[in-house]
Amino acid sequence: DFLRPRAGMPCGISLRFTLAAAPPGLELPLVIYVPSSCFSSYAQEHAEASFCISHIGDCAEVCLMDPSKLLGRSLWRLSANFSSPDSAESQSFLDVLSLKLHLGDERVLTMPLGDHAIVLRLLPSTLRLDVP
């Protein structure tokens, strides 16, 4: 529903990720890697932008001016090991489009992350582009 722009109102989307729970042994920060091509048509093919959550209750907000750029780029990587982001044992993947999110409806997700499980709250909202 957030991929379709509203008539006459230019808008993007904001996806706010809040770390609601994590085990004490989990190495923070939690890092969310988003394909850079979600933000720019000129981004390198395999480049990623990183968003960090440093403690429980903290959040990261991913703002997309053009939500349609998520098509083909909705698989985002989460990692608990910032120094070795490619380590398979401390990462997980989240397909944002498969969640079938609706603007304003918060979703609570329990996700595996290595030997641990984390709880994320995800809130999609409208990002108004015409507001100065």
Interacting residues of 107 by C-beta distance below 8 A, sequence separation 6+: 99, 101, 121, 122, 123
pLDDT of residue 26: 86
Q: Terminal CA-to-CA distance of the chain, rounded, Å?
A: 25
From first to last of the 132 residues of the chain, give the pLDDT tens digit. 555 555 555 578 899 999 999 999 888 899 999 998 888 777 666 788 999 999 999 999 999 888 888 888 899 999 986 655 556 667 899 999 999 888 889 999 999 988 889 999 999 988 766 655
Helix (H) or strand (E) holding 106: none
pLDDT of residue 65: 84
Q: How far is CA 69 from the centre of its chain?
A: 14
